[in-house]
Amino acid sequence: MTIELTTAGDRCALEARHGSYHWGDSLELLAGVPDGSVGAVVCSPPFEGTELIADADRTGAAFLSWLAPFFEQFRRVLRPDGCVAFELGGLWLSDAPGKAVQHAGAVHALAAAGWRLVQDFYYYNPQLLRPEPGGAARAADSVTPIWVMARTHDVYYDVRALEQPARQPFVRGNLLEFDTSGPYDQAYERALVEAGLRPYADRWPTVVPELFVELLTRPGDLVLDPFAGSGATCFAAERLGRRWLGCELDRGLEPHVRAMFGALAAGTGPQAG
């Protein structure tokens, strides 16, 4: 499969065969997405929203206010059987050697607003360890939850995606042990290093969104990533023949998205799945 990337217009950063990646605030982009058109939202919002969380607000009230409008839009644009798969873990507090529970508060608030928890996954991610808070000795944070939530329990969920032989070493029930050793990730990292840039620390290994795109959508469905970052979800959707829409605030990530999509042109073969 060949993917041609072109720059089109100010806000549309990249176009490929099945989708487009846009710059800007995804709330603005979402406002233009038709009702009931999205098969799945697959994303990783910033865990803190727009500000670090301090001990005085350890339950993350400001974070919840920031997150809620996105889920109002997700509710509108999702098909009735569609899911939101979002990675959202706890955070070290910015000013104390302890943790915020804004993720637990968010999931609780979403449930109270009518969202159903289809399933929680746990992503073991030793590559993205954060420094310990304020020099205090604590176990390293190395697991983040990926919540799959929906408007009903009657969702599209293709369990065969979890059972694929190539994924068996990495999928242990709902514990995922993916890392960035796959060929697409390696090609992305090589391209970044050649350009004198560092790989995007907050990105997903390409196999993470690949799994959720296969699990929650059929070929031809529309996949949305409103926090698109390096474009890993968009890239997975493109390769899996799903239509997709990505949006990202930080235009500085353009070389990353190009490197991500360039991983195909680099002649890498198929990976897990």
Q: How far is the CB of 165 from ligand SAM (least distance, A)?
A: 25
Instruction: With contacts defined by CB under 6 A, name the span among 55-63, 138-146, 160-168, 227-235 that binds ligand SAM.
Output: 227-235
Distance in Å, CB of 253 to ligand SAM, minimum: 6
On whether the CB atoms of residues 99 and 47 are closer than 8 A, the answer is: no
Cα(243)–Cα(228) distance, integer angstroms: 15
In this structure, what is the dihedral angle of CA atoms 71, 76, 78, 79, given to the nearest 10 degrees?
150
121 membership: H or E segment, kind and range: strand 116-124
Q: Is the Cβ–Cβ distance between 259 and 188 less than 8 Å?
A: yes
The helix or strand, by DSSP H or E, that contains position 76, with its residue range, turns out to be: helix 61-77
Q: Report which residue's Cβ sits closest to ligand SAM.
A: 229
Q: Which of residues 40-69 bind ligand SAM (CB under 6 A)?
A: 44, 46
Among 8, 25, 51, 68, which residue sits at the site for ligand SAM (rule: CB under 6 A)? 25
Site string for ligand SAM, 177-206 (x = CB under 6 A): -----------------------x-xxx--
Does residue 249 touch ligand SAM according to CB under 6 A? yes
Using DSSP, state whether 200 is helix, strand or coil.
Answer: coil
- Smallest distance, Å, CB 80 to ligand SAM? 25
In 151-273, at which residue ranges do the beta strands (DSSP E only) sit? Answer: 171-172, 175-176, 222-225, 243-248
Contacting residues toward ligand SAM, per CB under 6 A: 25-27, 44, 46, 200, 202-204, 226-227, 229-230, 232, 247-250
